Structure 1
Amino acid sequence: MKIDVRHIAKLAKLRIPDEKLGQMEKELSSIVAMVEKLPELTGSTNLLDPNNTMELRKDEIVPSMPREDILKNAPKAAAGCFIVPKTVE
């Protein structure tokens, strides 16, 4: 199977240098080959564990701490919000 690495990189908005294209194509081909070898799932019973149904708990409204008490511990706060250093330019 031929994989168009340039097209995939364009869709993912990635810049891949020309000298890395061959390596990327080989790696992507091996990933696709591995996925193609995975067995097919037959029916929905394979996806569920009957011993662990993972039922969701009901949402309940419970009292929380007052905002003022929480903001007392913050180094900087304004307008009821935490002030944090800018991390992205």
Structure 2
Amino acid sequence: MMDSITIVGFIAGTLTTVAYVPQVIRSLRLKETKDISLSMLVLYAVGVFLWFVYGVWTNALPIIAANGISLVLILILLGIKLRYR
């Protein structure tokens, strides 16, 4: 059974990851990201990747899961941003 702090970590990770889903869906549907800064996406992707690496090094499953999924969503947005400039 998971301890309380791990459950809190999964809840926090789920909420922060799910927060990006509407933006990805909107960007895919409209094929535009003019209101999203390219530099913000790149910096955020690097930061999330480093959190993912930290999670792997510390064996923190909530950090690995949340940041792995978030990184995929951010990379999708970045791809849309670059494709539909």
Work out whether the TM-score is over 0.5.
no
More helix per residue:
2
More strand per residue:
1
Q: Tell me which structure has the larger Cα radius of gyration.
A: 1
Could you tell me the TM-score, scaled by structure 2's length?
Answer: 0.28
